[in-house]
Copies of this chain bind each other. A is one copy, B any other.
Amino acid sequence: MLAAERRNLILEKVHEEKKVIVSELSKEFDVSEETIRRDLDKLEEDGHVIKSYGGAVLNEKGSIDLPFNVRWRSNTQGKQKIAELISEEIEDGDHIILDASTTAVFIAKNIKQKRHLTVITNSIEILLELSDVSGWDIIATGGLLKAGSMSLLGKKAADSISSYHVDKAFLSCKGIDLEKGITDGNDETGGVKQNMIAAADKVYLAVDSSKFGKKALSKICGLSEVDVIVTDEKPDGAWMDAFQRMGIDFLV
């Protein structure tokens, strides 16, 4: 039994029964009580449960479950790194745009202690994540909810973005190529992201290293429209040269 597997089962149980008891879980999974406590620590960190003497209870606030496909995420450390870098770029009072990507969700988690931000996003997950901060303006684009995507897309979404203007936009993409520029999986996200770029003074592209040299279906924009690229690992020299030539800053 994997640790993550066990934690998922605990999470399931706490959803079903509203509470779990350390001693019971210890027997059920045949591990020590300390291990269970550590599991509960993790689950509490993530906001799923609230520990209590002898066990833990469901955290109603954080317990709204995300659909299954959202739960499993790849390269979380890389995305967390990127998010921390970006967090340093955001100042109190900034007006920013976050797109609908897992990286952007990490960014949202990392900037909650800042003050008086204005955030525009089309990501349901980010809205959820930020629903408990106070003193911010959080603006949701309207739009169509695409099944399983957790993001608002379509003409309405794109239009509503173009009525705003922000300091910084933080986007991600599926592919980044010297020739084809920035590309993404489908046209609908493309249109929204184009407007996000147009609405921002400074455009940050948050991509993990695997995206370099990839080309996806739909072109969002040329590389030159990006101001800063934030990533977790340096690509090889040719890329760096190209970025320098285009005046693109680079954060690792």
Say if the beta carbon of A185 comes within 8 Å of chain B.
Answer: no
21 contacts between A and B (CB under 8 A): A2-B53, A3-B54, A4-B19, A4-B57, A5-B57, A8-B57, A60-B69, A60-B73, A124-B127, A124-B131, A127-B145, A128-B150, A131-B150, A133-B147, A134-B148, A138-B144, A139-B143, A140-B140, A140-B145, A142-B143, A160-B160
Tell me which residues across on chain B come within 8 A of A134, comparing CB atoms: 147-148
Q: Are the CB atoms of A2 and B139 closer together than 8 Å? A: no
Closest Cβ of chain B: how far from A67's Cβ, in Å? 5
Q: Interface residues, chain A, CB within 8 Å of chain B?
A: 2-5, 8, 18-19, 21, 50, 52-57, 60-61, 64, 66-69, 72-73, 124-125, 127-128, 130-145, 147-150, 152, 156, 160
Tell me which residues across on chain B come within 8 A of A18, comparing CB atoms: 5
Report how far A150 CA is from B124 CA in the complex, Å.
11
Closest Cβ of chain B: how far from A41's Cβ, in Å? 15
Listed residue (A128, A137, A148) with the most chain B CB atoms within 10 angstroms of its CB? A128
